[in-house]
Amino acid sequence: MTFSATINILLVDDHAIVREGYRALLAKHAGLRVVAEAADAVQAYRQFKECSPDVVITDLSLPGSSGLELISRIKQRSTEAKILVFSMHQNPSFAVQACRAGALGYITKSSAPKVLLCAIGEVYAGRYTLSPDIAQALALEKLGSERMALETLTVREFEILRLLVDAQTVEDIAQTLNISPKTVCNCHYVIKRKLGVASDIELMRLAIRLNVIDLLELSGSAKTTIEGASFPPETF
């Protein structure tokens, strides 16, 4: 596959070996050039400011601030920024939140290399694009009322939900997202109201049912369990 113009790319992934694989793939195609790499959101934002890439390719799972926060921050700095998410998450709700944050594309890492290359071209041209598996899943998810409720969450609320079910404290969430603990607590309340749950245990069960979290990814040190959730204290 060839491209009519040289596309300068910022590659963001917390695994060096994965970035090396991406770089090797992109180097095989004339017109694609990786001009900068980053392992976390802070480094990625700094590289974006310094290099002004044509396309940012980022994972969502990054140390500290997530890819969603990175997308939002980049779009705040440059509304013309073109961002493509390349993620292991096959949950269509992640694609919805990524696009709401400002991404033009969402491709799963299980996709064929050709899908990624085509997506880079589409995003560079300013067009929305999804990998076939996500596009199909999104169409099916529209039938589920719980999914529809989940999609009413703002990008910030979705991020707080993810951190809450990962057993992070109000203080940790506030520090990660650079907001006040009071804002976290208020969002906690709004999230439960939007999702129609009355307790934190119900919230956890719903998050698991909707694949916001994967039980296999819960560490042995996590404080939250299905039977006895330990969420930040409610202050409302």
CATH of the domain at 83: 3.40.50.2300
Do 101 and 155 reside in the same domain of the chain?
no
Do 86 and 12 reside in the same domain of the chain?
yes
Q: How far is CA 31 from each of CA 4, 83, 120, 173, 207, rounded to the nearest angstrom? A: 7, 17, 11, 40, 41
Provide the domain limits for residue 157: 145-217
Q: What is the dihedral of CA 134, 140, 145, 146, to 10 degrees?
A: -40
What pLDDT does 1 receive? Answer: 66
In a domain, 198, yes or no: yes
DSSP codes joined into one string, 10-33: EEE-S-HHHHHHHHHHHHTSTTEE
In a domain, 2, yes or no: no
Do 91 and 118 reside in the same domain of the chain?
yes
Do 31 and 91 reside in the same domain of the chain?
yes
> What does the alpha-carbon distance between residue 119 and residue 131 come to, in Å, rounded to a whole number?
8
Domain of residue 197, CATH code: 1.10.10.10
In a domain, 230, yes or no: no
Amino acid at 15: H
In a domain, 68, yes or no: yes
Q: Is 119 exposed, middle or buried (0-12, 13-18, 19+ CB in 10 A)?
A: buried
A 10 A CB-CB count for 143 gives 8
Three-class secondary structure of residue 37 per DSSP: strand
pTM of the model: 0.68
Do 132 and 31 reside in the same domain of the chain?
yes
Q: Which of 118, 140, 162 is the last residue of a domain?
A: 140
Total count of domains within the chain: 2
Q: Give residue for tokens 């991406």.
A: 22
Query: According to the 3-state scheme, what is the secondary structure of 70-109?
Result: HHHHHHHHCCCCCEEEEECCCCHHHHHHHHHHCCCEEEEC
Beta bridge partners of 83: 56
Three-class secondary structure of residue 56 per DSSP: strand
What pLDDT does 124 receive? Answer: 96
Q: Which of 112, 140, 168 is the last residue of a domain?
A: 140
> What does the alpha-carbon distance between residue 203 and residue 190 come to, in Å, rounded to a whole number?
12
Do 30 and 113 reside in the same domain of the chain?
yes
In a domain, 224, yes or no: no
What pLDDT does 141 receive? Answer: 66
Do 135 and 151 reside in the same domain of the chain?
no
Residue ranges of the chain with pLDDT lower than 50?
Answer: 143, 215-216, 218-231, 233-236
Do 107 and 199 reside in the same domain of the chain?
no
